[in-house]
């Protein structure tokens, strides 16, 4: 068996075989591949243990190691991070030849004490390699006869240098892999290769064999590379290698596909893939105080842990009343139960009921939130039960059918459960749990939808993965900072003690030379051309120079623009030349004009029937009077800017609380006693917080919540005081009403309906910071909401004058003729007249829509298009808060 060994050869490499034909008895391996090959041949095959399990086990060993150890202080504050750091030190020592015994140095001796404590630490790569070294000379069966080294022997790390020496001692032929084919003499690339080998700098001629592409953005860089690849003959794609050190070619692949070049399919592993987020979100929802944003994010995942239609209904409930247990939440579950019973109607009633109950129990388990205090932690059994539920869901949903992402979720949940069990704790602290979750997910998952396509161009992730010659090399995203040299944790005395015991320490200068050799090897192994591509911006961040760029700086400075190419030239030059290829581009005539501003819309016949026999609310009428197009789009066609749900702001939450408390306290009949109302309001406030306003319990809202705990009960107390002062009786609260005003059908919900003798009035409760807006509405006769409520409050057509009770200010705002106050606001017209104006304008706008015409407000000439006879003037800024401005293009920029 013949092997090629490279420190960066685990994963994609180029070439991927010794020769064109390939062989089952030849392979290119990295450290992990070499260890697995040896373990297989020697009968010692071991599993790859997730890092989280090793850290969890080591954490338990550190805790069990009593005494005043060097890690004691940091361990008491963050045990997981401490264990992870010390485990890395320990593995490095083992790789250097440390046997786990004391050497007379305090910190190393502390680690030796840990080694002697049960349980046994699962073997890492270094442990597996050392175990092989111990048996290589005593076990027959080794079939490897030759190993070629990609990296220079003197640059190997101590462990792999020892492994190579041990293999050589048992008869394996070790040789340096053949030198790569160099570029032709006299070419720019050959000069660069000579300079990297230490020869004097020479100016470059710009013959296209060595080019540095600079782009303002990654997008323009991708366009340039894709144009260059597509400009050559198809056979020239063979032997082309693209090095993507960041491990991701998604943006470049989009540009390649657009030009008929197969995609590379490199995808960076990310812990943020949608389904993976189920694990941290489920645990985050378990803490008290419960944060509804966490549960909302869970339901908004591309693959929520409940059925998609269930997730949508629960997300809507949370966006209206962010909490668990309120009216809207319970109504949502009732709707879900009814829908499930309908789905299960093919079964007999008992079976349908049983299936429904089982499914409901499974779905409700995901909403068992806010059960544990962060300061106390979560019981191990509960944490493992959550892991089990996530794993079962992932397998059931698609992991068992080969879905790569859901299979990763299932494996992560199982690993997390195993890691928590290894901690040997009955209760897991919150911080520790979060550390374990982050560690388990840290490896992430590549994008399952981003795959390589069959083609001649190859992609690799590491410089060392290019182990032999390539014709053309494109270094994609040639930016810093590059690989970092880890600082050694050992001082000089400790290093001397370790070296005296035969432990080899990988020195920083050697690591730096190893990294530099990998970088320069990319250029040395190309024999036709090299293109280094550096965007100034990566996503939204400014990039830094790659370490190799610093080494090439004198050469680039000497050669000037001869070897540099600005990617943005493609936008202004029809035949730009890059690396000896013409990148032809031409302007294309615009066939379709951009969307224009549309103040007048014509709707198809039949569409207007949607508006017939429709009941309007105060909100929809206000929208119609502000902008007819907005009314038709949102209230008739139910057009919305998107399905994104969000948690309301604090002011709306306080308003929701005040409304619900008022509904519960202000029952029909005589108002409650003023003396007891505040205590009752406080009790309802506290009980309703987790049900309909749970975000207020989060620490960042502590100041606002403290103020609201005082303001809301006082507001209810002031409202009851008003009712008593005005001698008012409560007719009802939260009353759904319908009425008819001529041809206008009305509907709405009255916050509070009161009366004195035979006179009635409507109170609309508002939690607002602006008192002036409502005073101006009443004074100017534009209180459309009060006008509509007047039409809804009685059957005789005249209704009752209404008013706003501003909860935050504890003040009544009402016009003349109201029984709500003895100090009404002077108004130009009363509610009844405003209702007449609303009815008149509704008829005109409705008739215009019936005739097939819609008018978009906000345009300079819209005033001339408005129907004749409107009683209510147009608002000054109708588009200020509109979500549909992209539809009518009212703010379109001229092009």
Residue 816 sits in a domain whose CATH number is 3.90.320
What's the confidence (pLDDT) of residue 508?
87
Q: Which of 282-291, 426-435, 788-797, 851-860 has the lowest mean pLDDT?
A: 788-797
Mean pLDDT score, 849-858? 90
Residue 460 sits in a domain whose CATH number is 3.40.50.300
Choosing from 441, 467, 501, the residue where a domain stops is: 441
Q: Which of 19-23, 320-324, 447-451, 888-892 has the lowest mean pLDDT?
A: 19-23
Domain span holding position 791 = 650-829
Choosing from 441, 471, 489, the residue where a domain stops is: 441
Q: What is the mean pLDDT of the chain?
A: 90
Q: Which of 450-454, 650-654, 751-755 has the lowest mean pLDDT?
A: 450-454
Would residue 874 count as lying in a domain? yes
d(CA 159, CA 162): 5
**% pLDDT > 90, the chain:** 68
What's the confidence (pLDDT) of residue 797?
55
Look at the block and give the residue holding tokens 């050669």. Answer: 559
Please determine, for residue 688, whether its predicted confidence score (pLDDT) is greater than 80. Answer: yes
The torsion region of residue 228 among left (phi > 0), alpha (psi -120 to 50) and beta comes to alpha
Q: Which two tokens stand for residue 270?
A: 């990310």
Choosing from 112, 143, 176, the residue where a domain stops is: 176
249 with 285, same domain: the answer is: no
What's the confidence (pLDDT) of residue 817?
83
Would residue 471 count as lying in a domain? yes
742 with 707, same domain: the answer is: yes
Would residue 95 count as lying in a domain? yes
Which of 556 and 698 is assigned the larger pLDDT? 698
Mean pLDDT score, 90-106? 94
Mean pLDDT score, 705-716? 93
Q: Which of 44-53, 120-129, 508-517, 791-800 has the lowest mean pLDDT?
A: 791-800
Q: Parallel, antiparallel, or unpaired: how do β-strands 427-428 and 378-379 relate?
A: antiparallel
Sign of dihedral through CA atoms 166, 169, 172, 178? positive
Give the pLDDT band of residue 895 (cuts 50, 70, 90): very low
Nearest 5°: CA angle at 514, between 499 and 510? Answer: 30
**pLDDT tens digits for 793-808?**
866 556 778 899 999 9
437 with 548, same domain: the answer is: no
856 with 820, same domain: the answer is: no
Q: Which residues contact 811 (CB under 8 A, 6 or more apart)?
A: 771, 805
Burial class (CB in 10 A: 0-12, 13-18, 19+), 869: exposed
d(CA 804, CA 813): 5
Would residue 594 count as lying in a domain? no
The rounded Cα 845 to chain-centroid distance in angstroms is 44
What's the confidence (pLDDT) of residue 487?
82
What secondary structure letter does DSSP report for 234? G
161 with 194, same domain: the answer is: no
Q: Which residues contact 28 (CB under 8 A, 6 or more apart)?
A: 3, 4, 6, 9, 13, 16, 17, 18, 467
Report which listed range, 281-285, 546-550, 572-576, is most confident: 281-285
Q: Which of 339-348, 548-557, 607-616 has the lowest mean pLDDT?
A: 607-616
Return the number of other C-beta atoms located less than 10 Å from residue 313's C-beta.
19
Would residue 593 count as lying in a domain? no
Give the pLDDT band of residue 731 (cuts 50, 70, 90): very high
604 with 752, same domain: the answer is: no
Q: Which two tokens stand for residue 661?
A: 């408390």
CA–CA distances in Å: residue 185 to residues 192, 193, 560: 11, 10, 21
Mean pLDDT score, 130-134? 93
Burial class (CB in 10 A: 0-12, 13-18, 19+), 401: exposed
604 with 717, same domain: the answer is: no
Please determine, for residue 96, whether its predicted confidence score (pLDDT) is greater than 90. Answer: yes
670 with 764, same domain: the answer is: yes
Q: Which two tokens stand for residue 338?
A: 């009814």
579 with 495, same domain: the answer is: yes
341 with 255, same domain: the answer is: no
255 in Cβ contact with 658 (< 8 Å)? no
What's the confidence (pLDDT) of residue 894?
40
In total, how many domains does the chain have?
5
**% pLDDT > 70, the chain:** 97
Q: Which residues contact 434 (CB under 8 A, 6 or more apart)?
A: 280, 283
Cα torsion 522, 525, 529, 530 to 10°: value is 0
Q: What is the 3-state secondary structure (H, E, C) of 222-234?
A: HHHHHHHHHHCCH
853 in Cβ contact with 599 (< 8 Å)? no
Please determine, for residue 24, whether its predicted confidence score (pLDDT) is greater than 80. Answer: no
Nearest 5°: CA angle at 159, between 155 and 160? Answer: 55
Which of 181 and 324 is assigned the larger pLDDT? 324
Would residue 595 count as lying in a domain? no
Enumerate the β-bridge partners of residue 616. Answer: 746
401 with 295, same domain: the answer is: yes
562 with 427, same domain: the answer is: no
Would residue 449 count as lying in a domain? no
d(CA 178, CA 468): 8
Would residue 893 count as lying in a domain? no
């Amino acid at each position: 068996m013949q092997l090629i060994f490279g420190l960066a050869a685990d994963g994609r490499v180029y070439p991927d075989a010794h020769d064109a034909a390939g062989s089952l008895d030849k392979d290119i391996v990295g450290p992990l591949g070499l260890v697995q090959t040896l373990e297989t041949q020697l009968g010692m095959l071991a599993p790859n243990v997730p890092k989280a399990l090793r850290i969890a086990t080591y954490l338990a060993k550190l805790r069990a190691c009593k005494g005043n150890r060097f890690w004691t202080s940091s361990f008491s504050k963050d045990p997981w991070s401490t264990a992870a750091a010390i485990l890395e030190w320990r593995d490095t020592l083992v790789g250097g030849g440390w046997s786990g015994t004391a050497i007379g140095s305090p910190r190393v001796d502390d680690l030796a004490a840990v080694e002697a404590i049960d349980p046994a630490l699962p073997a890492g790569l270094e442990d597996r390699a050392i175990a092989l070294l111990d048996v290589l000379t005593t076990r027959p069966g080794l079939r490897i006869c030759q190993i070629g080294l990609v990296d220079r022997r003197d640059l190997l790390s101590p462990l792999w240098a020892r492994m190579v020496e041990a293999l050589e001692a048992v008869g394996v032929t070790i040789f340096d892999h053949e030198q790569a084919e160099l570029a032709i003499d006299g070419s720019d690339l050959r000069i660069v290769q000579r300079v990297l080998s230490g020869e004097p700098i020479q100016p470059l001629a710009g013959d296209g064999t060595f080019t540095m592409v600079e782009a303002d953005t990654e997008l323009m860089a991708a366009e340039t590379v894709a144009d260059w690849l597509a400009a050559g003959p198809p056979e020239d794609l063979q032997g082309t290698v693209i090095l993507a050190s960041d491990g991701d070619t998604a943006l470049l692949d989009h540009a390649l596909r657009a030009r008929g070049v197969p995609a590379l399919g490199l995808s960076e592993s990310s812990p943020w893939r949608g389904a993976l987020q189920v694990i941290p979100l489920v645990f985050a929802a378990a803490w008290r105080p419960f944060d509804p944003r966490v549960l909302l994010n869970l339901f908004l995942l591309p693959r929520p842990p409940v059925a998609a239609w269930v997730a949508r209904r629960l997300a809507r409930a949370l966006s209206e009343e962010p909490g668990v247990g309120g009216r809207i939440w319970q109504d949502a579950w009732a709707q879900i139960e009814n829908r499930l019973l309908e789905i299960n109607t093919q079964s007999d009633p008992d079976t349908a009921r049983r299936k429904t109950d089982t499914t409901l129990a499974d779905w409700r388990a995901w909403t068992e939130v806010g059960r544990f205090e962060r300061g106390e932690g979560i019981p191990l059994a509960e944490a493992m039960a959550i892991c089990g539920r996530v794993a079962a869901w992932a397998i059931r949903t698609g992991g068992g059918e080969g879905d790569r992402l859901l299979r990763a979720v299932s494996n992560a949940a199982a690993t997390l459960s195993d890691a928590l069990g290894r901690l040997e704790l009955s209760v897991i602290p919150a911080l520790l749990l979060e550390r374990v979750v982050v560690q388990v997910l840290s490896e992430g998952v590549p994008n399952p939808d981003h795959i390589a396509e069959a083609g001649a161009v190859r992609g690799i992730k590491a410089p060392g993965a290019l182990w032999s010659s390539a014709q053309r090399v494109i270094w994609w995203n040639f930016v810093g900072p590059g690989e970092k040299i880890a600082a050694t944790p050992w001082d000089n005395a400790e290093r001397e003690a370790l070296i005296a015991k035969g432990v080899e320490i990988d020195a920083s200068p050697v690591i730096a030379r190893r990294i530099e050799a990998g970088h320069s090897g990319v250029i040395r192994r190309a024999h036709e051309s090299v293109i280094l591509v550096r965007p100034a911006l990566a996503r939204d961040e400014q990039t830094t120079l790659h370490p190799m760029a610093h080494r090439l700086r004198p050469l680039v400075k000497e050669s000037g623009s001869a070897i540099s190419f600005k990617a943005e030239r493609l936008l202004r030059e029809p035949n730009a030349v890059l690396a000896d290829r013409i990148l032809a581009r031409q302007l294309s005539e615009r066939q379709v004009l951009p969307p224009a501003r549309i103040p007048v819309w014509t709707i198809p016949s039949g569409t207007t029937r949607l508006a017939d026999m429709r009941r309007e609310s105060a909100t929809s009428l206000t929208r119609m009077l502000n902008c007819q197009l907005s009314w038709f789009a949102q209230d008739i066609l139910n057009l919305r800017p998107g399905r994104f749900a969000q948690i309301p702001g604090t002011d709306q939450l306080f308003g929701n609380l005040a409304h619900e408390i008022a509904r519960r306290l202000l029952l029909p009949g005589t108002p409650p006693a003023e003396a007891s109302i505040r205590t009752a309001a406080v009790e309802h406030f506290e009980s309703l917080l987790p049900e309909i306003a749970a975000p207020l319990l989060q620490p960042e809202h502590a100041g606002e919540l403290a103020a609201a705990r005082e303001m809301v009960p006082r507001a209810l107390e002031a409202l009851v005081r008003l009712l008593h002062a005005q001698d008012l009786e409560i007719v009802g609260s939260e009353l759904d009403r319908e009425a008819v005003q001529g041809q206008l059908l009305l509907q709405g919900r009255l916050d509070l309906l009161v009366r004195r003798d035979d006179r009635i009035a409507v109170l609309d409760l508002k939690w607002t910071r602006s008192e002036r807006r409502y005073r101006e509405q009443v004074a100017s006769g534009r209180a459309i909401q009060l006008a509509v409520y007047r039409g809804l409050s009685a059957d005789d057509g005249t209704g009752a004058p209404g008013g706003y009770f501003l909860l935050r200010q504890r003040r009544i705002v009402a016009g003349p003729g109201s029984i709500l106050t003895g100090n009404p606001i002077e108004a130009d017209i009363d509610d009844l007249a405003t209702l007449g104006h609303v009815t008149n304008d509704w008829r005109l706008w409705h008739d215009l829509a019936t005739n097939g015409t819609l008018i978009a407000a906000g345009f300079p000439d819209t005033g001339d298009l408005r129907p004749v006879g409107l009683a209510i003037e147009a608002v000054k800024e109708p588009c200020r808060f509109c979500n549909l401005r992209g539809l009518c293009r009212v703010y379109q920029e001229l092009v």
